[in-house]
């Protein structure tokens, strides 16, 4: 009898992302795995739902091991988790895992814009333990890694494999002691991650990104990422934790939304 927990996995970089496949490979010895991921990249989409379009769901057999049920969905990460939990998976899901994202998801601004974090939030809204995983990629190779769907040279690939092994351990531990219903665990791995990299509890760094658009010609603007201006001096923020070379662990508590002012 198979007593392994069942993980539903999604991401925002798309079902072809090597970071997603590395996560699935690391999970398989300890988890039954189902995958419901966007057909194409959905970065910076936040918690958008595809209200005004029909979505195509395609069963995928060739991309994953035969014991993994996988679907490619022409929607957002939130769409993917919602459709999977409502219509696709037949075995009860024990935990929803989103990632591994190409790049970090730190600070209030980025986590609210992140499709990866949103996929985990959707799982939390179904009252399931949910974790978002993100891997910081050095600026010098980020564009190359992103354009190649997460494929990288052998040195950085070793960091990713260690991060994926951490994901499995973190997910198992979280199933033993999950956060309150409606919360999401947000994990960020530093660029250099080994099996021995320490995990530290962190707060969200305070960063004002300012304008994220540049004028390309009069009246026309295009997205342009900005590092913003840091208003954070805490050594316990997620950004500071990554800069020290540790793994940041932050509990995102959405159950406090709507509380009365003091």
Q: What is the pLDDT of residue 233?
A: 65
Higher per-residue pLDDT: 200 or 212: 200
Residue 215, pLDDT score: 92
- Token reading at 217: 């010609």
d(CA 175, CA 197): 21
Residue 232 pLDDT: 63
Higher pLDDT, 231 or 6: 6
Using CA atoms, how far apart are residues 9 and 116, in angstroms rounded to an integer?
10
Is the pLDDT at 235 greater than 90? The verdict is: no
Angstrom CA distances, 95 to 5, 81, 100, 184, 256, stand at 8, 11, 15, 11, 22
The model carries a pTM of: 0.94
For 22-36, what is each residue's pLDDT tens digit? 999 999 999 999 999
Domains, in order of start, for the chain: 6-207+234-255 (3.40.1210.10)
pLDDT of residue 20: 98
Say which residue, 163 or 236, is predicted with more confidence.
163
- Read off the pLDDT band of 175 (50, 70, 90): very high
Q: Which residues of 53-87 are buried (b: 16+ CB within 10 A; e: fewer)?
A: eeeebeebeeebeeebbbbbbbbbbbbbbbbbbee
Asked if pLDDT for residue 231 goes beyond 80, the answer is: no
Tokens of 256: 């406090």
Interval 106-151: pLDDT, tens? 988 899 999 999 999 999 999 999 999 999 999 999 999 999 999 9
Q: State the pLDDT at residue 1.
A: 45
Tens-digit pLDDT profile for residues 59-73: 998 899 989 999 999
Given a cut of 50, whether residue 257 has pLDDT beyond it is yes
CA–CA separation, 144 and 44 (whole Å): 19
What pLDDT shows up at residue 109?
Answer: 86
Report how far residue 118's alpha carbon sits from residue 252's, in angstroms, rounded to the nearest whole number.
Answer: 11
């Amino acid at each position: 009898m198979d007593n392994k927990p069942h993980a539903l996995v999604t991401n925002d970089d798309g079902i072809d992302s090597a970071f997603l496949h590395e996560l699935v490979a690391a999970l398989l010895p300890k988890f039954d795995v189902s995958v419901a991921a966007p057909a194409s990249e959905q970065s910076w989409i936040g918690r958008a739902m595809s209200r005004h379009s029909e979505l195509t769901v395609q069963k995928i057999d060739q991309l994953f091991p035969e014991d993994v049920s996988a679907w490619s969905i022409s929607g957002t990460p939130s769409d993917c988790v919602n459709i999977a939990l409502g219509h696709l998976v037949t075995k009860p899901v024990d935990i929803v895992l989103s990632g591994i994202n190409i790049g970090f998801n730190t600070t209030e601004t980025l986590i609210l814009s992140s499709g990866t974090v949103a996929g985990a939030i959707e799982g939390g809204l179904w009252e399931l333990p949910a974790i978002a995983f993100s891997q910081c990629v050095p600026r010098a190779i980020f564009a190359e890694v992103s354009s190649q769907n997460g494929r990288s040279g052998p040195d950085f690939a070793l960091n990713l494999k260690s991060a994926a092994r951490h994901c499995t351990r973190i997910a198992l531990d979280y199933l033993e002691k999950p956060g309150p219903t409606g919360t999401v665990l947000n994990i960020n791995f530093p660029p250099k991650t080994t099996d021995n990299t320490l995990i530290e509890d962190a707060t969200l760094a305070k960063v004002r990104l300012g304008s994220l658009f540049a004028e390309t010609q009069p009246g026309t603007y295009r997205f342009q990422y900005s590092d913003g201006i840091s208003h954070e001096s805490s050594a316990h923020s997620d950004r500071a934790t990554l800069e020290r070379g540790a793994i940041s662990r932050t509990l995102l508590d959405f159950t406090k939304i709507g509380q009365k002012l003091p």
